Chain A
Amino acid sequence: MKMKRISFYAIVAVVLMLICGSREVCAQQLALGTDALMIGAMTPNATAELVTGEKTSLALSVAGNIKPWGMDFRSLGIRPEFKLWLSGRPMVREYIGVAGFLTSYDFSFGNKTRTGMAEGLGVTGGYLFRLTEHFCLELSGGVGMMYYSQKVYGKGDDYSQYFPGDEPARDNSSGVALVPLKCSVTFMWILR
């Protein structure tokens, strides 16, 4: 229930960003990119960024992986981000932003398996280098608060057996943590 509420708030936040960001736009600039660091972590990802105003843009990143580097790890997440470009024009030089994320994960580490969802909100910042007219390199990072709710159980165990009888299986671990929201080296291509 709590998780649903949090998910609901996260979605509302994204919608609010979209509404706030959709102000007068000179020309609809659209860029696509990918985070090289994530690729290095064998996590395919894609980012789409839409300029929403003279100094603002909205980016949506999606990433997911299955057994990266042979590790017992699976995840899938999205991260909307609203950027305010301090240089005065979108998609050039420095920016600050607000980002949220929602991710599901399932990994085993040591003799424990953890399966759950995490969502969060935080602040970001970065610098974009215009290498050519269309090609850009963005270095960015961010930090935020994450709420997680997960099932923690022994590796190889059947989690449902932890709940005898008709008791529904529920998460047995949750919490809030301050986490790095983002640490990216993103290559982007401005489509138009």
Chain B
Amino acid sequence: MEANRLFSRLGRIFALAAIMSAAFPVAGLAQEKIVSGIIKDKATGKPIDISSVSVTVYAFNTVSQAQDVANLMKSDANTFVVTHTGQAYPDRTGYYEIKVAPTGALLYVAEMADPVLEKVNERMEINVTLDVGLRITEAILTEERDEVAVLEARTEIVGNILSVSSSISLPSFTGRPDARLIVQPVLMDRATRDTLRYLRPMVVDGKEYTQTQKSRLNYQLSNDPLYKYLEEEQNLTEEKLTVPWSANIYVRDPNKEFLVLGLIQLEDYNWPFFYMEEYLASIRARRPLRFLKYDIAALDLDPDDYYVAPRREKMSSAGSVSLQFELNQASLSPNDTVGRHQLDSLKAAVMDIVNGEGTALQEFHIIGTASPEGRSESNAKLAKKRTEFALNEIISVLPKYNRDRIWSTAESVIRPWSDVAEMMEAEDSASVQAAEIRDIIARYPKDIDSQGLMIKRLPYYQEIKDKYLPRLRSVRYTLSYEVNRALTPQEILHRWKTDENYRSGRRSFTLHEYWQLFKLVKDETELDTLYHRAYRESKAQGRPWELAAGKLASSYLKKDIVDTTILSPFIDYTVHNTDVSITRMDGNGADIINPKALVYNQLVMFMKSLNFSRSSQLSQILPDTEELREAKSLAMCLGGYYKGGDTSEERERINGYFNTVCNISLWNKVVLCLARGLDEKVYNDEALRCIEELPDEEPKKYYFKAIALSRKGYDYLMESEGNLYKACKMDSSLIEIAKGDGDIREDSMEEVLKALEDPETGDMIYGFY
């Protein structure tokens, strides 16, 4: 039977689609225009109640099309309309807007009632009254309470706003004209029962209480500390009274569960005569967007957009050359080609600095070391001569002008025999021989010559002479020079790769060098280090750098790390645009306020940190482009802007966000339609339709269905419970979620829990669904 009904419906759909496509070429090619109006309920004379009646307005370019569809619908109320010309839904004030050809017609369809056709006839405003029949609502049996109670508690979390509302019911003779009601709400953490903060209190006075209070306070009620919380529209009397209470509370972490405890007290002139504590908000909160799925990637910044000019700087260098001298001479051995080559290289390097553009040699120092064998006095003299030789070799090639302006020194040092002992011990583990040498040193502590004579007598002296003593002879140099030019990218990269001072962070790169490195370095870990250092160093200097901050934030977002402080210095919430250029006071360039990429990344950062208020704020700063539309719409919906609106422009904007997020995926469409469906029935129906297209193996499909069905009334309660049972059976994690979900009826939850405890019985009861 289900299949027959389906085919019958499909047949009608195709028939209607055929009518549409056949008629289209003939359809009014006149420009469509917007028609608006108010839809009212004939029975009440008031705007149609969209929370209880689903109303759709269809546009047709010709009256005939509309008439055909109307006739079909009258013959079969299950007809499903497919039109390419457009459809619209009224809002809670009954207002609608739709585009239609001036010679076309509008068809107003309200659930099972006969459709109403209105010819446009060039009109721009068409108000319609629909007869939706007498709606029998749920019968509510009332009985007068004899106790103070909190009723209709409702809790909803959208974005970072916890919206709570309830009513405090005072039976007859509880309130008095000479009494005051004080309600002090307290926000608590549901898990720990900690008091988070005291909310704004509510005060309701009896008329006499107000009068006497005024006269007590010299007729200036502002002297009453509770006056600012007074509800002036209501007065306590001896009659029964229902006092509504509501609050919108900002919560930093919307995933937490909250309680609102109310301290309720009634007092007269003498003392409090009534006190109770009761929860003002339902423990079970609606979180309509809890299941929304989204994944927004960060925007990567292009370094070319943030070029930094290079700076000149000072540098230094050091090295050593290995020279072989003639025996007892201060000249190089003719066989020492290596030493000669090293000297020539050093000379060339020095000449490069002297002759280079923007470079100037400042200092040149040579330290020569000699080995300790032989007479120390003659050794010292020889070493000094050799060092001076090396120095002269180098600076002799310099022009006199530069020679006169360079600070140069030559120093010679004779290495002690203890260095030999250390080398033997460290490299060859010759600890015995090393100890012998140290013994000799200890015997002749200040007499190097005697030490040398004794060590010469050692049997392994030849080895010492061949292997260790030559290494004690060396010539080391240091030169300092100034480089007044920018380093090339290769020099910068080389510095990063090889200079431990720069790699470790002991020395800092300039911003230009960081800029180059961001482009040259490929390793992700190294790049993160560079981003972090560049950001930290620029921040320490008082001017955080946008590129470093943006790159760092982008890197964090890729790793799901949340830190909203990185980009906050670059965001000005008072400027409602991005990339605003402001010339500096000194006229030297301009600053960019709210760089688009940074604002976008910060929006993503706030969304990940569940601060939807801020993310929706940032969304309003970003321009409305195709690239950014999805993220903006998500931010706005998560911030609560998926429904409502006071003006038609606002409603249009909000509908835009709603539709964009719906178009991301079917799943999101279901979630958003369910969210909106509590107050607008048509969206609940749409959610039900979309739910059927979700995959059957997805447990949340049945969870969603349970919510949507429970809103349709008692007739669907069993089916709702069946779907909830199935969802919880498929995924047990949904049980805890459902227990705290205000969208699930409490009585249904109890029944399903019982069924889950006894699956055999549960399957029997709900197996059909």
Interface residues of A (CB under 8 A from B): 26-27, 29, 87-89, 91-93, 130, 132-134, 190, 192
Q: Mark B204-240, 1 if CB is under 8 A from A, else 0.
A: 0000100110111111000000000000000000000
Cα of A130 to Cα of B269 in the assembled complex, Å: 15
B388 within 8 A of A: no
A26 engages B216 (CB within 8 Å): yes
A88 engages B217 (CB within 8 Å): no
Cα of A133 to Cα of B220 in the assembled complex, Å: 12
B178 engages A192 (CB within 8 Å): no
Q: What is the minimal beta-carbon distance from B690 to any residue of chain A, in angstroms? A: 61
B268 within 8 A of A: yes
A87 engages B178 (CB within 8 Å): yes
B192 within 8 A of A: no
B75 within 8 A of A: no
A133 engages B269 (CB within 8 Å): no
CB within 8 A of B217: which of A26, A92, A134, A190?
Answer: A26
Cα of A133 to Cα of B217 in the assembled complex, Å: 12
B625 within 8 A of A: no
Q: Which residue of B lies closest to A86 (CB)?
A: B270
Q: A93-B178, A130-B208 are in contact. Are A88 and B269 (CB under 8 A)?
A: yes
Q: Which residue of A lies closest to B267 (CB)?
A: A88
Given contacts A91-B212, A92-B211, A133-B214, could you give 20 more A-B pairs where the C-beta distance is less than 8 Å?
A26-B216, A27-B215, A27-B216, A27-B218, A29-B216, A87-B178, A88-B268, A88-B269, A88-B270, A89-B212, A89-B269, A91-B215, A130-B208, A130-B211, A130-B212, A132-B211, A133-B219, A134-B215, A190-B215, A192-B215
B212 engages A92 (CB within 8 Å): yes
Chain B residues near A92: list those with CB within 8 A.
Answer: 178, 208, 211-212, 269
Q: What is the minimal beta-carbon distance from B128 to any residue of chain A, in angstroms? A: 51
Cα of A192 to Cα of B214 in the assembled complex, Å: 9
Interface contacts (Cβ under 8 Å), in number, total 38
Chain A residues near B218: list those with CB within 8 A.
Answer: 27, 192
CB within 8 A of B269: which of A87, A134, A192?
Answer: A87
Interface of chain B residues 263 through 321 with chain A (CB within 8 A): 268-270
Q: What is the minimal beta-carbon distance from B272 to any residue of chain A, in angstroms? A: 12
Q: What is the minimal beta-carbon distance from A127 to any residue of chain B, in angstroms? A: 13
Q: What is the minimal beta-carbon distance from A84 to any residue of chain B, in angstroms? A: 13
Chain A residues near B214: list those with CB within 8 A.
Answer: 133
Chain B residues near A91: list those with CB within 8 A.
Answer: 212, 215
A-B contacts, 18 listed (Cβ < 8 Å): A26-B216, A26-B217, A27-B216, A27-B217, A29-B216, A87-B270, A88-B269, A88-B270, A89-B212, A92-B208, A92-B211, A92-B212, A93-B178, A130-B208, A130-B211, A132-B211, A133-B214, A192-B219
Cα of A132 to Cα of B215 in the assembled complex, Å: 11
Q: Which residue of A lies closest to B223 (CB)?
A: A27
Cα of A134 to Cα of B212 in the assembled complex, Å: 10
Q: What is the minimal beta-carbon distance from A149 to any residue of chain B, in angstroms? A: 42
Cα of A64 to Cα of B466 in the assembled complex, Å: 142
Q: What is the minimal beta-carbon distance from A189 to any residue of chain B, in angstroms? A: 11
Chain A residues near B270: list those with CB within 8 A.
Answer: 87-88
Chain B residues near A190: list those with CB within 8 A.
Answer: 215
Cα of A192 to Cα of B208 in the assembled complex, Å: 16
Interface centre among B211, B215, B217, B218 (most CB of A within 10 A): B215
Cα of A88 to Cα of B217 in the assembled complex, Å: 15
Q: What is the minimal beta-carbon distance from B220 to any residue of chain A, in angstroms? A: 9
Cα of A130 to Cα of B214 in the assembled complex, Å: 12
Chain B residues near A134: list those with CB within 8 A.
Answer: 215
Chain A residues near B215: list those with CB within 8 A.
Answer: 27, 29, 91, 133-134, 190, 192
Q: Which residue of A lies closest to B177 (CB)?
A: A130
Chain A residues near B211: list those with CB within 8 A.
Answer: 92, 130, 132-133
Cα of A190 to Cα of B219 in the assembled complex, Å: 10
9 closest Cβ contacts across the A-B interface?
A88-B269, A88-B270, A89-B269, A27-B218, A89-B212, A92-B212, A26-B216, A133-B211, A130-B211
Q: What is the minimal beta-carbon distance from B225 to any residue of chain A, in angstroms? A: 13
Chain B residues near A26: list those with CB within 8 A.
Answer: 216-217
Cα of A192 to Cα of B220 in the assembled complex, Å: 10
Cα of A173 to Cα of B270 in the assembled complex, Å: 49
Cα of A120 to Cα of B556 in the assembled complex, Å: 93
Chain A residues near B212: list those with CB within 8 A.
Answer: 89, 91-92, 130
Cα of A91 to Cα of B208 in the assembled complex, Å: 11
Q: What is the minimal beta-carbon distance from A33 to any residue of chain B, in angstroms? A: 14
B216 engages A89 (CB within 8 Å): yes
Q: Mark B411-422, 1 if CB is under 8 A from A, else 0.
A: 000000000000
Cα of A87 to Cα of B179 in the assembled complex, Å: 11
Cα of A49 to Cα of B185 in the assembled complex, Å: 41
Chain A residues near B269: list those with CB within 8 A.
Answer: 87-89, 92
Q: Which residue of A lies closest to B207 (CB)?
A: A130
Q: Which residue of A lies closest to B268 (CB)?
A: A88
Interface centre among A26, A88, A89, A92 (most CB of B within 10 A): A89
Chain B residues near A192: list those with CB within 8 A.
Answer: 215, 218-219
Q: What is the minimal beta-carbon distance from A192 to any residue of chain B, in angstroms? A: 6
Chain A residues near B208: list those with CB within 8 A.
Answer: 92, 130
Q: What is the minimal beta-carbon distance from B271 to any residue of chain A, in angstroms? A: 8
Q: What is the minimal beta-carbon distance from B238 to any residue of chain A, in angstroms? A: 15
Chain B residues near A130: list those with CB within 8 A.
Answer: 208, 211-212
Cα of A29 to Cα of B219 in the assembled complex, Å: 10
Q: What is the minimal beta-carbon distance from B317 to any residue of chain A, in angstroms? A: 87
Q: What is the minimal beta-carbon distance from A83 to any residue of chain B, in angstroms? A: 15
Chain A residues near B268: list those with CB within 8 A.
Answer: 88
Cα of A18 to Cα of B212 in the assembled complex, Å: 23
Cα of A93 to Cα of B219 in the assembled complex, Å: 19
